[in-house]
Amino acid sequence: MKLSTIGEFGLIRCIANLCHADANNVILGIGDDCAAIQNNRQYWLVTTDLLTEGIHFDLRFITFYQLGYKSLAVNISDILAMGGEPEFFLTSLAAPSDIMAEDIEALYSGIRDLAVQFNISLIGGDTTAAQNHCLTISGTLIGKSDAIIRRKGASVGDKIYIAGYPGQSSAGLAILQKLQKPIDLDNLAVSDPSLVPFAPLLRRHLTPTPKALRTNAAITAMIDVSDGLLQDLNHICEQSQVGFAVPTDKIPISQSLLEASVWLNKDPLEFALRGGEDYELLFTSPDDLTSAYFHIGDIIAHDRIIIDSQGVERHYQNNGGYDHFKTNSTS
């Protein structure tokens, strides 16, 4: 069977069925944002992500510095999504031999600058030549946590929250694809003043900076939005064996996204519900956290329902977010 038929998540299920992690101290293997390994009263969290040219990035629109920054950011996001603190990073490169050494230095400057913000140590990696002029960066991040928060754990009656505006990154990508040029984010007001209103979208796409939750409230389940809000909420609900009700009126849309959607002639809600790579935390809690986070819906027993602005209910179809092997992917 072709991967395009079973899809990315079907493939991951197939791998998980083939390879069980049987060791007693493996608390979580395949299936969450990180693997979790018990170490006395703490957990080690381990996550790995791969960025490959032509699939995850286009060097016509992203600088090497931004790419390095993002390669660490996507991994930090997974550690934060489990309530952990990132500590040690390993990064591996498959690089075409005609790439300039200065570009790889810029890539590592991006990694270093974000690592400094989170007090992360780069402790190793691997390097190889790549064929077909295709650059690949793989990052593995190790973190620690006293109490892990899983995708599994949401209960009926919990509220669903998102920690930041969704759809920002995919709109940023759409802008870059329309412009077909790299952006100097630090000098936008001088280099491209007309793009200043879109800066938060471009920044979210090129140099996302993940943020940990700041609350002592009970968080019952959590994921970071990498595949799209609805698809990632669906991951929480599949693992927690619950449903969701999300009124689209509750989805926060930033002013930048509204303005960019007009410029792009696109529906802002499509970016917000289905756009990938936001790396915002999506979580559930029985508590009222509306003073700090966006309350976007509620956990219900079975159905997965989106309620439009007219009050019409639609059942969620699992075909809108990002899947690496399916042709209906939107980002």
Residue 23 beta carbon to Mg ion: minimum distance, rounded to whole angstroms? 23
Instruction: For residue 262, give the 3-state DSSP assignment.
Output: helix
Distance of CA 151 to the CA centre of its chain: 14
Between 13 and 266, CB nearer to Mg ion: 13
Segment interacting with ligand ADP, rule: CB under 6 A, options 30-38, 173-181, 238-246, 291-299: 30-38
Instruction: Report if residue 12 touches ligand ADP, rule: CB under 6 A.
Output: yes
Nearer to ligand ADP, 51 or 135 (CB): 51
Exposed / middle / buried, residue 15 (Cβ in 10 Å: 0-12, 13-18, 19+): exposed
The listed partner (ligand ADP, Mg ion, none) that binds 30, CB under 5 to 8 Å by sort, is ligand ADP
Where would I find the H helices in the chain?
3-18, 64-80, 101-118, 168-179, 188-191, 199-206, 229-240, 255-264, 268-274
* Residue 32 near ligand ADP by CB under 6 A: yes
Which position has the token pair 């756009």?
275
Residue whose CB is less far from Mg ion, 33 or 53:
33
Picked from ligand ADP, Mg ion, none, the partner binding residue 32 (CB below 5 to 8 A depending on kind) is: ligand ADP
The number of residues that bind ligand ADP (CB under 6 A) is: 9
Residues in the chain: 331
Provide the total of helices (H) and of strands (E) in the chain, helices listed first: 9, 13
Asked if residue 145 binds ligand ADP (CB under 6 A), the reply is no
Where does residue 159 rank: exposed (0-12), middle (13-18), buried (19+ CB within 10 A)?
Answer: buried
Which CB, 224 or 278, lies closer to Mg ion? 224
Residue window 199-238: x/- pattern of binding to ligand ADP, with contact defined by CB under 6 A: ---------------------------x------------
Question: Nearest-CA neighbor of 200 among 251, 271, 267?
Answer: 271
Of Mg ion, ligand ADP, none, which one does residue 12 interact with (CB within 5 to 8 Å by kind)? ligand ADP
- Cβ pair 274, 230 in contact under 8 A: yes
String marking each residue 218-247 x if it binds Mg ion according to CB under 5 A: ------x-x---------------------
Q: How far apart are the first and last CA of the chain?
A: 24
* Phi, psi of 304, rounded to the nearest 5 degrees: -120, 105
Does position 78 bind Mg ion by CB under 5 A? yes
Pick one of Mg ion, ligand ADP, none as the site partner of residue 123 (Cβ within 5 to 8 A by kind).
Answer: none
33 in contact with Mg ion (CB under 5 A): yes
Residues near Mg ion (CB under 5 A): 33, 78, 224, 226
